[in-house]
């Protein structure tokens, strides 16, 4: 028998961004033709998409660790890295996404809607994209950012039209088995049903879905019995049906007290939903009372005796049935269909989202009008130290190759433009004090001259040193090959003369 999984914890890892490339264009007679390093590709996202073909979270139960593809690295000749492949995971309608702290992030009810559960890292820029009028030949590139890695909680809240509530062994599973083609486990002992059962009731050209909620007993909202594990499945139902066992022999049990006890439990559970949205109010949900097990003579007599009292006290329709004997089912089915259709007419029509609407997590990034938001505070663990916090500032740290002197200088320029140095000066920072940014601590070296656009930090060794012969040396070698000068004569034999100091006049020997 297939398991019904309605709550899972996912361990997500979005794809890392690819690294940018530091490359110099080379061709014949043009060995240093400028930077041509391409950008790294963005990492793949982990996306949840609502699918009408999926009904449980079972796949996630067995494969909770999910990882998207990594972005490709950039290459020379202005070639950008490939974007990492997105990983699209299908979830059933009615899935609610929560953060690790329990905050609701998305309520996925419309087929086709997508939610970005984990965003891939940005690819690093190549040195071609970093070139500017001040830095014409960058000898570095930015590294790719790591993709988001966190845990999310998925909960499935059934989208059934009718929810059956009642004490254990009241006959909810039996009722579903005779109204639909579902084959739930049936027994005469408490908590036979340990997972919700869902069935479809066909009524000619029309149909509706019905589900039972196991474990609803006094104290369930406080964790007694099966607790809150399955109460979530009644939040979206159009109609709540009380299934009452009229043949029970337990002391203190009767139809009136059973319904009152469960209504009190539902009222307490409603208080737990105050922070939830879009689920309606359980108090205003239409109700119906089903007096079951009328195949037992004493139960039939009790049901007929209390029917008028129940209708007068609660004002809900009351039906006397026997699921085992299949007695009184047709009037019940038509009444349930009538109530469901009435509810559907009051609800907006939900169509499949053909445009694949994408729901992003909580908004991140810079505020409007600000280059980069950050906060500087004194380091409580290091005397005279400071900590710089800010999402964009932390991203700059992850993009920097600290093995490259010019890349470090570029980072310092970005921090200066963002106002980090000015803020440190105002807080009393001095040169050499420890500053921590993005988990990395370094000795602070403020910019000299105060011009944040200077490109004097770092250098590209390929542009400042070369083994190529100078024009004068090439001319002398040519003259030596033609016999115009003595190739071995570099001047006075009594002293060592370098190539640069050698006599390059035309040889007259």
State yes or no: 480 annotated in a binding site: no
195 among annotated binding-site residues: yes
What is the per-residue DSSP string for 265-321? HHHHHHHTTTT--SS--GGGS-EEEEEE-TTSHHHHHHHHHHHHHHHHHH---EEE-
Q: How far apart are CA 53 and CA 57, in angstroms?
A: 12
Residues 6+ apart with CB under 8 A from 394: 437, 438
323 labeled part of a ligand binding site: yes
Q: Is 192 annotated as a binding residue?
A: yes
Nearest to 21 by CA among 121, 141, 132: 141
Residue 168 annotated as binding site:
yes
CB atoms within 10 A of CB 309: 12
Distance between first and last Cα of the chain: 106
Is 425 labelled as part of a ligand binding site?
A: no
DSSP reduced 3-state for 171: coil
Confirm whether residue 324 is marked as ligand binding: yes
* Separation between Cα atoms, residue 215 and residue 222, nearest integer Å: 12
The reply to whether 366 sits in an annotated binding site is no
User: 252 a known binding residue?
Assistant: no
**Residue 42 neighbours by CB distance under 10 Å:** 27
To the question of whether residue 170 is assigned a binding role by annotation, the answer is yes
| 390 DSSP 8-state letter | -
Token digits of residue 240: 């709540």
Which two three-digit tokens encode residue 44? Answer: 């793949």
**Residue 277 annotated in ligand binding:** no
Residue 49 DSSP class: E
166 is in an annotated binding site: yes
Confirm or deny that 191 is annotated as ligand binding.
yes
- 171 marked as part of a ligand binding site: yes
Residue 295 marked in a binding site: yes
214 labelled binding-site residue: yes
SS3 117: strand
Is 319 assigned a ligand-binding role in the annotation? no
- The response to whether 82 counts as a known ligand-binding position is no
> In whole angstroms, how far apart are CA 118 and each of 43, 123, 359, 399?
10, 16, 12, 19
Ligand-binding annotation for 59, yes or no, is no
294 is in an annotated binding site: yes
Binding residues: 166-173, 191-195, 212-215, 292-295, 322-324
Binding residues for GTP: 166-173, 191-195, 212-215, 292-295, 322-324
Binding residues for Mg(2+): 173, 193
């Amino acid at each position: 028998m297939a398991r019904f999984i309605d709550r899972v914890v996912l361990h997500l890892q979005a794809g890392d961004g690819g690294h940018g490339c530091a490359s110099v264009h080379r061709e014949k007679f043009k060995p240093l033709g400028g930077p041509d390093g391409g950008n790294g590709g963005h990492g793949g996202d982990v996306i949840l998409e609502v699918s009408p073909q999926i009904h449980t979270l079972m796949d996630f139960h067995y494969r909770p660790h999910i990882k998207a593809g990594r972005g490709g690295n950039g290459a020379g000749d202005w070639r950008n890295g490939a974007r990492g492949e997105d990983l699209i995971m299908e979830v059933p309608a009615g899935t609610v996404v929560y953060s690790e702290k329990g905050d609701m992030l998305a309520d996925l009810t419309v087929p086709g809607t997508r939610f970005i559960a984990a965003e891939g890292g940005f690819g690093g820029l190549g040195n071609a994209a970093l070139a500017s009028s001040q830095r014409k030949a960058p000898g570095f590139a930015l590294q790719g950012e790591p993709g988001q890695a966190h845990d999310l909680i998925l909960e499935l809240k059934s989208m059934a039209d009718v929810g059956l509530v009642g004490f254990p062994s009241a006959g909810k599973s039996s009722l579903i088995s005779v109204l639909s083609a579902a084959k739930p486990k049936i027994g005469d002992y408490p908590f036979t049903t340990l997972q919700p059962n869902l069935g479809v009731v066909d009524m000619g050209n029309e149909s509706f879905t019905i589900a039972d909620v196991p474990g609803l007993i006094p104290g369930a909202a406080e964790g007694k019995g099966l607790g809150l594990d399955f109460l979530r499945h009644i939040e979206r139902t159009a109609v709540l049906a009380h299934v009452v066992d009229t043949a029970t022999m337990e002391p203190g049990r009767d139809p009136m007290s059973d319904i009152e006890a469960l209504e009190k439990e539902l009222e307490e559970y409603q208080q737990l939903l105050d922070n939830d949205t879009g689920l309606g109010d359980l108090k205003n949900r239409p109700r119906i009372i089903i007096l079951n097990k009328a195949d037992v003579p004493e139960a039939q007599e009790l049901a007929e005796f209390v029917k008028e009292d129940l209708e007068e006290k609660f004002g809900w329709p009351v039906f006397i049935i026997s699921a085992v004997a299949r007695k009184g089912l047709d009037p019940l089915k038509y009444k349930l269909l009538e109530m469901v259709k009435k509810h559907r007419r009051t609800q907006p029509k939900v169509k499949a989202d053909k445009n694949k609407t994408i729901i992003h997590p909580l908004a991140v990034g810079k505020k409007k009008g600000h280059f980069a938001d950050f906060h500087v505070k004194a380091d409580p663990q290091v005397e005279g130290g400071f900590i710089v916090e800010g999402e964009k500032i932390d991203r700059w740290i992850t993009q920097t190759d600290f093995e490259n002197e010019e890349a470090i200088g570029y980072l310092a320029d970005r921090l200066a433009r963002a106002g980090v140095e000015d803020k440190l000066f105002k807080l009393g920072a001095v040169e050499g004090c420890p500053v921590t940014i993005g988990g990395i601590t370094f000795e602070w070296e403020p910019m000299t001259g105060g011009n944040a656009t200077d490109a004097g930090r770092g250098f590209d060794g390929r542009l400042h040193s070369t083994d190529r012969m100078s024009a004068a040396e090439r001319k002398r070698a040519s003259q030596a090959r033609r016999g115009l000068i003595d190739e071995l004569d570099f001047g006075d034999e009594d002293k060592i003369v370098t190539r640069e100091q050698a006599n390059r006049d035309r040889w007259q020997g």
